Amino acid sequence: MSARILDGEAFAARTHRETAGRVEQLKSRGITPGLVFIRVGEDPASRAYVSRKEKRAQEVGIASRTLVLPETTPLAALLKEIDALNADPKVHGILIQAPLPSTLPNDVVYARVSPAKDVDGFHPLNFGKLLLGDPSGFLPCTPAGILEILRLGEIPTAGQHAVIVGRGQIVGRPLALLLARKAPGADCTVTLAHSRTVNLPSLTRQADILIGALGRPLFLKKDHVKPGATVIDVGVNRLTDPANPRGYRLVGDVDFDSVKSVAGSITPNPGGVGPMTIALLLSNTVRAAEDLSR
């Protein structure tokens, strides 16, 4: 048996077409959705991620730009830049590209972005709305993108056991809340596992839907997976590879080559969750423009 591939690129293309249509409707009213990325420092991965997001934004008609600040930028200066973007009516979405330098406290920086422009879904107010089931908040893009993969891939969720390996604030915890909601595309029984979970394979083999979000390269192997399960790989990890011109290769948290022979459906990596994360970011940006223009 070989698993069915859940093609994130194809799913994202569908979402981008819908987003582009909404952009055209806004432009017919004289409104161009605006998205600003803030990148602090010259981390190569961050540069690549922001470049990819900017390209996709421009393709769907969103006006996007990147504010690049030096690695040594003090907190007060960064907060001043965020305040200016919060006050700019042409800016509808603001994204702080992670990781930030260690000198900058993530919680303070993310909380400074206006909740109405927090298209990444990291502001405490938006996270609180997620916890309370309030749909007026922005959902974090990667968890929301995973739900879209399950929906577009026609993966049943109601009554299914979802095991999430990874309890981080960006993916694991919000995804657990989303999958456990009483709502279409959710209604799962959710187990949130992590690096200290005892006898992890015996737990993951119970999963109808298994999500790897631990941040450990090729961690989930064939013996972690129940035959026929849906496997979603969130991880982005660098492995040294002298044969690669870049000197490294990117791999996920799932050992794709071994797991695909057991799983019923699986996301590739790259080409799975990543494209859907960007698609949901742009959809959130258009929604912010729609909300702010009412």
Report pLDDT digits (tens) over 171-194: 999 999 999 999 999 999 999 999
| Superfamily of domain 141-274, CATH level 4 | NAD(P)-binding Rossmann-like Domain (3.40.50.720)
Q: What is the pLDDT of residues 215-267, one digit of tens each?
A: 999 999 999 999 999 999 999 888 888 888 888 888 999 999 999 999 999 99
| Residue of 77, 155, 145 whose CA lies nearest to 284 | 145
Domain with CATH 3.40.50.720 in the chain: 141-274
Rg of the chain over Cα atoms, rounded to whole angstroms, equals 19
Task: Say if CB 91 and CB 34 are below 8 A apart.
Answer: yes
Q: What is the mean pLDDT of residues 163-174?
A: 96
Question: Mean of the per-residue pLDDT values for the chain?
Answer: 96
Identified catalytic residue from 27, 80, 83, 97: 97
Q: pLDDT of 138-154, one tens digit each?
A: 999 999 999 999 999 99
Q: Which of 118, 120, 208, 233 is catalytic?
A: 120
Catalytic residue among 53, 117, 226, 260: 53
Out of 2.40.170.20, 3.40.605.10, 3.40.50.11810, 3.40.50.10860, the CATH code matching 30-117 is 3.40.50.10860
Long-range contacts of 8-11 (CB under 8 A, 24+ apart): 8/145, 8/149, 8/267, 8/268, 8/271, 8/272, 8/273, 8/274, 8/275, 8/276, 9/271, 9/275, 11/148, 11/149, 11/152, 11/153, 11/275, 11/276, 11/279
For the chain, percent of residues with pLDDT exceeding 70:
100
pLDDT for position 1: 63
Q: 143: part of which helix (H) or strand (E)?
A: helix 141-152
Q: Which residue has the tokens 């200016």?
A: 84
Report the distance separating Cα 294 and Cα 105, nearest Å.
34
DSSP code of residue 99: P
Task: Outline which parts of the chain fall under CATH 3.40.50.10860.
Answer: 30-117
Q: How many CB atoms lie within 10 A of CB 159?
A: 9
Rounded to the nearest angstrom, the gap between the alpha carbon of residue 260 and the centroid of all alpha carbons in its chain is 23
pTM surpassing 0.85?
Answer: yes
At residue 139, φ and ψ (nearest 5 deg) are -85, 145
Q: Is 97 a catalytic residue?
A: yes
* Mean pLDDT on 285-294: 95
Tell me how far apart the alpha carbons of residues 73 and 261 are, in angstroms, rounded to a whole number.
Answer: 48
